[in-house]
Amino acid sequence: MRMRGNMKIRLLIGAAIILFSYVKYCSRSETNEYTGKKQHISLSTDEEIAIGLQSAPEMANQYGGLYPGQDEQNKVKAVGQKLVAKSIANSTPYRYEFHLLRDPETVNAFALPGGQVFITFGLYKRLQNEDQLAGVLAHEIGHVVGRHSAERMAKQDLTKGIISGVTAGADMGAGQIAAVVANSVNMKYGRNDELESDNLGVKYMIDADYNPYEFIEVMHILDAASGGQAPPEFQSTHPSGPHRIEEIKAAIEANGYQQ
């Protein structure tokens, strides 16, 4: 009987933790005025900017620091600032800064909350023209405008709360199962963020008079760089190449672009 009572208390505690996490998550709901998307966000724009600025030096160090060639740095900055100036990104409160990282092997680009945007030299050197560079940077600007980092932080807080609640209410095995499920959910959210950033990036390219079809060529470059060894889409935070290309084509057509 005592074991039953203890189990009932554990279940109540676990349920309370899950309920609190869910209510907290749902209470932080707002509509992104630049994308029209309803989101659950736990950070202010000022906090996003502060996190990005604070994290930028550490992130740069992870990729060997900034690329030493000033001409290349200036090109990345000029293309990024042109995209911001010509698009709705210019109306946002974020502080956009664009950085070329030294790492010659890693093929990557990413954005921190608040406007810090990075591209590795490993990706930069594979790009064939300015339009393709614009595609990479426009996509990352889309992550900033879409507030994807802040949104993901809120979702991760929710999934941590659910895992804690399951573990408290049941056992470690159940908590591990919950962690696997939560990870799959967060990966799906990641894929949706990538597709939204692709869509926004296409629009920003068009606004800045870049050829958005060159963004499709970037997808081929990324596929070639992976050696065709990219994991299946359901196991990745990024959509599969063919899926992304179809979505990009649809976005180009939806924005009425004509060559």
Q: What is the pLDDT of residue 163?
A: 60
Residue 13's SS3 state is: helix
- Look-up of token digits 């879409």: 146
Whole-angstrom distance, CA of residue 63 vs CA of residue 52: 16
Q: For residues 192 and 233, what is the distance between their CA atoms, to the nearest angstrom?
A: 12
**Percent of the chain, pLDDT > 90?**
51
pLDDT of residue 39: 79
Residue 143 pLDDT = 94
User: What residues contact 132, with CB distance under 8 A and at least 6 apart?
Assistant: 214, 215, 217, 218, 221
pLDDT digits (tens, 9 = 90+) for 14-40: 556 555 555 555 556 688 888 888 877
Q: How far is CA 178 from CA 47, 183, 194, in A?
A: 30, 9, 25
Segment 71-95 mean pLDDT: 97
pTM for the whole structure? 0.78
CA distance linking residue 212 with residue 205, whole number of Å: 6
CB-count burial class (<10 Å; 0-12, 13-18, 19+) for 30: exposed
In this prediction, what percent of the chain has a pLDDT beyond 70? 70
User: What is the rounded CA–CA span in Å between residue 38 and residue 147?
Assistant: 11
Does the structure show a pLDDT above 50 at 187? no
Which of 123, 159, 153, 162 lies closest to 139, judged by CA?
123
3-state helix, strand, coil in the chain (%, to 5): 65, 10, 25
* pLDDT tens digit sequence for 113-170: 899 999 999 999 999 999 999 999 999 999 999 998 878 776 666 566 556 655 655 5
Cα angle: 16, vertex 25, 185; to 5 degrees: 95
Ordered by start, the domain boundaries in the chain are: 9-23+41-254
Write out pLDDT tens, residues 35-63: 888 877 877 899 889 988 999 999 999 99
User: pLDDT tier at 223 (50, 70, 90 boundaries)?
Assistant: confident
Which residue matches tokens 């899950």?
Answer: 18
Residues 211, 165 contacting (CB under 8 angstroms)? no
Residue 119 parent element (H or E): strand 116-120
